[in-house]
């Protein structure tokens, strides 16, 4: 299937705001435009709304925190630790603190 470049003029502020919303949804601006166009064809009109709450829900904060912790664990090479290994690390840290204390 051939593809082509599509250019549109958009206010810089609108583009920036839209890109921020789509980034929070986990997609980039070009992907969002392609989704919109494909769904428009399927629906034969304006297809849908993707919205975010004005106020962040606690669940969203928790998910974001878990992702950050997972990324940190992967960067530090500890993402694949078993529960036993984690408990052993905690025990060692507690012993060290008691010895200092």
- Which tens digits make up the pLDDT trace of 8-42? 999 999 999 999 999 999 999 999 999 999 999 99
| Cα gap 52→34, rounded to integer Å | 20
| Cα gap 29→18, rounded to integer Å | 7
What ranges do the domains of the chain cover? 1-52, 54-101
pTM: 0.46
Q: How high is the pLDDT of residue 60? A: 79
Question: Please, are residues 70 and 79 in contact by the beta-carbon 8 Å criterion?
Answer: yes
Q: How high is the pLDDT of residue 30? A: 94
Average pLDDT, the chain: 89
Cα separations in angstroms, 75 against 4, 61, 78, 90: 39, 21, 8, 19
42-78 pLDDT tens trace: 989 888 777 777 776 677 788 888 899 999 988 988 8
């Amino acid at each position: 299937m051939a593809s082509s470049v599509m250019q549109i003029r958009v206010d810089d502020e609108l583009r920036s705001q839209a890109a921020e919303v789509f980034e929070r949804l986990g997609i980039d601006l070009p992907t969002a435009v392609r989704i919109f166009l494909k769904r428009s064809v399927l629906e034969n009109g304006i297809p849908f709304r993707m919205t975010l709450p004005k106020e962040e829900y606690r669940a969203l904060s928790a998910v974001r925190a878990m992702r950050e912790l997972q990324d940190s664990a992967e960067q530090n090479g500890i993402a694949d630790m078993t529960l036993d290994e984690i408990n052993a690390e905690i025990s060692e840290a507690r012993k060290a603190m008691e010895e200092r204390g």
